[in-house]
Amino acid sequence: MSRVWNFYAGPATLPLTAIETAREELVDWRDTGMSVMEISHRSKEYDELHHEAMALVSELLGLDEDHHVLFLQGGASLQFAMLPMNFIPEGGSADYVITGAWSKKAIKEAKIVASAREAGSSEPEGFIRIPAADTLRLDPNAAYVHITSNNTIRGTQWQEFPDTGDVPLVADMSSDFLWRPFDANRFSLIYAGAQKNVGPAGVTVVIVRKSWLEKANEDVPTLLKYATHVAKDSLFNTPPCFAIYMVRNVLRWIKDHGGLAAMEQRNRAKAERLYGVIDANPHFYRCPVEEGSRSVMNVVFRLPSEDIEARFVAEVAERGMVGLKGHRSVGGCRASIYNAMEPEGVEALASFMEEFARIHS
């Protein structure tokens, strides 16, 4: 078997044990004589798996009774539209903090279905930081405040979440969901496409405060209403069974590895190693992100020229490390080091970066 160190931003590397379990169980799952892709989503076996996955999300995050876990389709991008459709009342408006391309897409959708305003933005400085809390201009009457907890393309991440008082706080956590312990009960809604930190593409994890749903709009198509999915435990229609099965495998792996506190330790050590190499070689590597806003999940960096960057990406691939090209909209290099990236993979990359800087300086 040969596996590479996969630094893609998403879909991204998964824990090997989660994939191996799937391989072992693929043809005959739990002695049913069927794969998990073939069995009815109304069967007892699938129902147990579905609820185990939901329970693991709740357990890992310590969710209270008022928070409900959903598995939806349409990616995080559908949440950009579903959220305002459900929660901005007629004549109301929501606040968005703009920290990169994904927040801009989120507010764009909100403006299609309702009214939304920018409560802060780091766009004038080229998205190199998360706006300081005291620079946000929050509307006390906003339907909610939306943030993007980790900016996958720019490599910035909220270190502390803003205090929005009585206004519900909502976060797109697609690229840093479950990377560390945090008070998820403070949020009225969290959404995350699974394909970075918790599974394959095809399912989006949503956590919604049930008491907030009482204020939700009624005139929303059935499938786009959060209340529909809460009432049916994400089994209103056929769920993406195989993707949810993989999420369950990944969640078991997180739990078996010590839960979110252990993930945080592991992730911080990996990020420190990479930022350490960048900072120790300032003549060669440059991280465009301000130090206090650096992401632990997506480490972005530049080399002295685009030619050298192309060479770096090609040579590192020859050593079995792939996915290091930066997002096409910004260029440069990016190492995505989500939960499942093994410390050995980061060590291999860091050593290569040191060697490459020595040779080409």
Is 196 an annotated catalytic residue? yes
Is residue 208 at the binding interface for ligand PLP, with CB under 6 A as the rule?
no
- Segment interacting with ligand PLP (CB under 6 A) among 12-20, 25-33, 74-82, 314-322: 74-82
Among 84, 193, 326, 345, binds ligand PLP (CB under 6 A): 193
If residue 72 lies in a helix (H) or strand (E), which one and from where to where?
Answer: strand 67-72
CA angle 275, 276, 279 (to 5 degrees): 80
Is residue 148 at the binding interface for ligand PLP, with CB under 6 A as the rule?
yes
Taking the least distance from each CB to ligand PLP, the nearer of 174 and 281 is: 174
Is residue 172 at the binding interface for ligand PLP, with CB under 6 A as the rule?
yes
Taking the least distance from each CB to ligand PLP, the nearer of 152 and 267 is: 152
Whether omega before 221 lies within 30 degrees of 0, making that bond cis, reads no
Is 139 an annotated catalytic residue? no
In angstroms, the Cα distances linking 17 to 21, 243, 313, 340 are 6, 15, 28, 10
Is residue 174 at the binding interface for ligand PLP, with CB under 6 A as the rule?
yes
Is residue 102 at the binding interface for ligand PLP, with CB under 6 A as the rule?
yes
Q: For residue 234, what is the DSSP state?
A: T
Among 13, 93, 156, 175, binds ligand PLP (CB under 6 A): 175
Among 21, 73, 77, 185, binds ligand PLP (CB under 6 A): 77
Taking the least distance from each CB to ligand PLP, the nearer of 191 and 356 is: 191
Is 255 an annotated catalytic residue? no
Contact 272, 265 (CB under 8 A): no
In angstroms, what is the minimal distance from the CB of 78 to ligand PLP?
7
**Pairing mode of beta strands 321-322, 5-6:** parallel
Is residue 152 at the binding interface for ligand PLP, with CB under 6 A as the rule?
yes
Contact 217, 84 (CB under 8 A): no
Among 75, 181, 288, 304, binds ligand PLP (CB under 6 A): 75
In angstroms, what is the minimal distance from the CB of 202 to ligand PLP?
9
Query: If DSSP codes are grouped into helix, strand and coil, which group holds residue 94?
Result: strand
Q: Of the listed 196, 225, 270, 325, which one is catalytic? A: 196
- Which residues does 42 contact at the CB level (< 8 Å), separation at least 6? 235
Query: If DSSP codes are grouped into helix, strand and coil, which group holds residue 289?
Result: coil
250/245 Cα distance (integer angstroms):
9
Q: Residue 283 burial (CB < 10 Å; 0-12/13-18/19+)? A: exposed
Site residues (CB under 6 A) for ligand PLP? 10, 75-77, 102, 148, 152, 172, 174-175, 193
